[in-house]
Structure 1
Amino acid sequence: MNPPSEISAEQNSNNTTSGNRSLGFEFRGDGMEYFKIWIVNILLTIVTLGIYSAWAKVRNNRYFYSNLYLDNDNFRYLADPITILKGRLIAVAALIGYYIMSLFFPIVAGGLAIALMLAIPYFINQSMGFNHRMSSYKNIQFRFKGSYGQAFMVIYVWPILGILTLGILYPLALLKGNEYFVRNSAYGTSKFDFNATYKDYGMIFLTAIGISLAVGLPIALIAYFVPAFSVISSLLYIVIYFAVIIYVVVSFTNIFYASLSLIEHKFEANLTIAATAKVILTNLFLTMITLGLYLPAAKVRMTKYICSCLTMHTSGSLDNFSAAEKENISALGEEFGQVFDFA
């Protein structure tokens, strides 16, 4: 279950200059170990009619966080399942109330639907804040503090502009979403920054479109003039568009981390199309032939691969960061987001 390319933390912790180091991320989880957690979570969630799902989420996140290492220190997930359960119960009760209202008072329900749409940016911010607050590294918690206006633009305005411009501004919408997430995030009192540009994102889309047209059009012409080639052409289209999707995912991931910084500390990702495709295809094949039972191991395998490709270039010691003042963040916003598939 090891990835095709695994880089240990020790191999990436070489000193380059005085005080500067390149630290590799490392995931030490095991597929079979996680399978046991995964199957128990599913069974107990079913038996308890979903109540155990809060504990399942905490167990799942704690496993992945605790097995993620940087500089020989692991991350931690601090959330309390009781807090999450309370938020979920409130969210479910609100949904049931809305459903009943829609049956007997459709006009009022319509107004509530609009109110909910306007409230979603608030819930997104609360969800981000809770998830960051419940994540820590070296006993320092992460923070997130985005504004309602920023969230509203990212959720509604930028995507709509992307649609209205026939996709021309879609790279900008994606860029704004990443800027919103990164620039409102902090590790302790130190804020993250993001310096990618519209050109960076736009070139990925243009390249993907160019590859699709350059390869797809000749195949379409051959299939048109040679009908017997149509079956083969369908298979080729699947291969081509799979390759294009992998290219887009790999390119965006690499650019995202290359554009990410934490004060003077930089990040780097070196995912490759071939290695990523190999992991995805292997996971897909093994998951299919095991009727889904390989899914936990597939998740571990993909996590290991991605972590093996990530590096943090530090300037000085990571221990010099100071913890930010504690803020009381309610789990309510996060659980509303989960119910509506936003978190």
Structure 2
Amino acid sequence: MGCFLVLNAYAGENQETAAKKLALMFRMAPQQAQSIIDKVSKGQVWRFQNEVSDRQAVVAENYLKAIGFQVERSGQAQEETYQIAETVDLSDDADLAVAPAAVASPGEKPQQTLQKSPSKALAAQSPSGKSLHFGFHGTGGGLLKIQLVNWILSMVTLGIYYFWGKTKERRYLWEQMSFTGDRFFYHGTGKELFKGMMIFNLLFIALAAGLAVVENMVGPQMSGVVNGALVLAILVAIPAILVGAYRYRLSRTAWRGIRFSFRGSRKEAIGLYVKGFLLTLFTLGLYWPYFTIARRTFWMRNSHFGNQNIQYEGDGKDIFTQFMISVLLVPLTFGIYWFWYKAFLARYNWSRTRFAGGTFNFSATGGQMLTLNLVNMLLLVVTLGLAYPWVMVRNLSFVTQHLTIDANMRLDKVVQDAKQSGALAEGAVDGMDIDMDFGI
């Protein structure tokens, strides 16, 4: 398996010395090496053109890290690259021999790491008064190819390949998304999902077996109570599973070499959801707007990019009136007004969301959301579902086209501070088919 090397940040002390070492290692002109360092130092991403083997990647990574670069591996070439070093040769036939002191062996630790100051490469700011934009560069055809291979191999392997296929699909979607022109990266693996699903299945079987033993001990007259306890246990476990799944996905997502993370606890999620559903039930639905904001607050405030968390300041009373209007108009309009309420809620939520001093803005209207969904439905009906990849691409493109952040956001203080997260809960979500959509 090969990969592409990507330079996300530079935090070395001596650019002139680093340029000489870069030119020596990759057989490029000193001016080109200096240009690469200048651009990466300003926050631009540099992707090497040629695919390399894992063996070559280890050697090159250690060398690049030792001279001050933060390096990522990308699993596949992208349709749109950033800055390409046309003369660089990283093929297996290339001679990577360098001075022994300059390159750390695969088992050794590089002389310096970038985690202490990647902020130097993240400090590039947009001009004052301008918005920072998201983008999506994928195509329905590209996604369809991945899904077709996934479907075929999943059938051939009796479903085992599903987890690897899902990872490839997710990696494609992640890496086709960009912010200020720089792509996101997904680091999850199919092995992690498969292992998580196997562990979850074993836990579920053990729970079911334990309840069966209890049912046999108490007799058939108590079977209803036992089954009810099982259902209740599953419902209570859903928030905990969602937390684990969301934590896993964020921990495997990176931008400019800095990873995302989620710091919320399962206990807090269970308490929030149990309280929210009970109060909504007892108030005949009137508590739902407050529960909506409480959920959003939990997911946003516990989400981090590097060492900085997302701030969210919402209040249920701000959306209560619109919620009541939607309760009245959605049935009268045969569901059409739901898109106007959904657009209002998305605009409200993003306008109350801030990160590193910048405020998000979502500009979509109810009419635009209605048009998007009507066209999507028409595509699915006419093609008997074959247009689903195009529908996914349309949805992601719609969100990225309407979502921006004002240029007051400062990334110069963001440093890597992500925590590791396992895939157990992610496997549980796949097994139980729980919707992970927390809203636009």
Contact 1:27/1:67 (8 A) holds in 2: yes
Pair 1:146-2:270 in alignment: no
Alignment equivalent of 1:167, drawn from 285, 293, 300: 285
Shift of 1:211: 3.4
Q: Distance in 1 between matches of 2:212 and 2:267?
A: 33
Alignment equivalent of 1:334, drawn from 392, 411, 426: 426
Shift of 1:116: 5.1
Moved more, 53-62 or 332-341: 332-341
Structure 1 residue aligned with 2:276: 158
Alignment of 1:199-210 (within 5 A): 199-210=317-328
Shift of 1:316: 5.3
Alignment of 1:294-313 (within 5 A): 294-313=387-406
Alignment equivalent of 1:74, drawn from 173, 176, 183: 183
Alignment equivalent of 2:170, drawn from 61, 64, 69: 61
Alignment of 1:52-201 (within 5 A): 52-103=161-212, 105-106=214-215, 118-201=236-319
Q: Distance in 2 between matches of 1:59 and 1:27?
A: 17
Contact 2:292/2:316 (8 A) holds in 1: no
Shift of 1:41: 1.5
Asked which structure has the greater CA Rg, the reply is 2
Contact 1:266/1:312 (8 A) holds in 2: yes
- TM norm structure 1: 0.80
- TM norm structure 2: 0.63
Q: Distance in 2 between matches of 1:118 and 1:208?
A: 29
Shift of 1:81: 1.3
SS in 2 for 1:69: strand
1:147–1:101 CA distance, 2 compared to 1 (3 A): closer
Moved more, 70-79 or 33-42: 33-42
Shift of 1:104: 5.2
Q: Which amino acid aligns with 1:51?
A: I
SS in 2 for 1:26: strand
Gaps of 5+ in 1: 1-15, 217-239
Alignment of 1:263-302 (within 5 A): 263-302=356-395
Contact 1:19/1:316 (8 A) holds in 2: no
1:119–1:294 CA distance, 2 compared to 1 (3 A): closer
1:200–1:316 CA distance, 2 compared to 1 (3 A): closer
Q: Distance in 1 between matches of 2:242 and 2:126?
A: 41
Q: Distance in 1 between matches of 2:137 and 2:412?
A: 22
Q: Distance in 2 between matches of 1:77 and 1:304?
A: 18
Shift of 1:298: 1.0
Structure 2 residue aligned with 1:45: 154
Contact 2:196/2:423 (8 A) holds in 1: yes
Deviation string, structure 1 residues 34-53 (Cα, Å, up to 9, x no partner): 11112222222222222112
Shift of 1:79: 0.6
Pair 1:28-2:120 in alignment: no
Contact 1:20/1:316 (8 A) holds in 2: no
1:41–1:262 CA distance, 2 compared to 1 (3 A): same
Q: Distance in 2 between matches of 1:177 and 1:268?
A: 20
Alignment of 1:172-251 (within 5 A): 172-212=290-330, 216=332, 240-251=333-344
SS in 1 for 2:334: helix
Q: Distance in 2 between matches of 1:83 and 1:181?
A: 23
1:197–1:106 CA distance, 2 compared to 1 (3 A): same
RMSD: 2.4
Q: Which amino acid aligns with 2:404?
A: T
SS in 2 for 1:136: strand
Gaps of 5+ in 2: 1-124, 218-225
1:161–1:316 CA distance, 2 compared to 1 (3 A): closer
Contact 2:197/2:424 (8 A) holds in 1: yes
Q: How many residues are aligned here?
A: 302
Q: Distance in 2 between matches of 1:114 and 1:249?
A: 30
SS in 2 for 1:318: coil
Identity among equivalent positions (%) equals 24
Contact 2:239/2:273 (8 A) holds in 1: yes
Q: Which amino acid aligns with 2:250?
A: H
Q: Distance in 1 between matches of 2:344 and 2:203?
A: 40
Contact 1:141/1:323 (8 A) holds in 2: yes
Deviation string, structure 1 residues 66-108 (Cα, Å, up to 9, x no partner): 1111111011111121111111111123333444555554368
Q: Which amino acid aligns with 1:73?
A: D
Q: Distance in 1 between matches of 2:369 and 2:238?
A: 34
Deviation string, structure 1 residues 15-42 (Cα, Å, up to 9, x no partner): x995453112111111111111122222
Contact 2:240/2:267 (8 A) holds in 1: no
Q: Which protein has the bigger helix share?
A: 1
Alignment equivalent of 1:259, drawn from 349, 352, 358: 352
Q: Which amino acid aligns with 1:157?
A: K
Deviation string, structure 1 residues 222-274 (Cα, Å, up to 9, x no partner): xxxxxxxxxxxxxxxxxx23321111221111112111111301100011122
Contact 1:125/1:145 (8 A) holds in 2: no
SS in 2 for 1:293: coil
Q: Distance in 2 between matches of 1:30 and 1:81?
A: 23
Shift of 1:327: 2.2
Shift of 1:175: 0.8
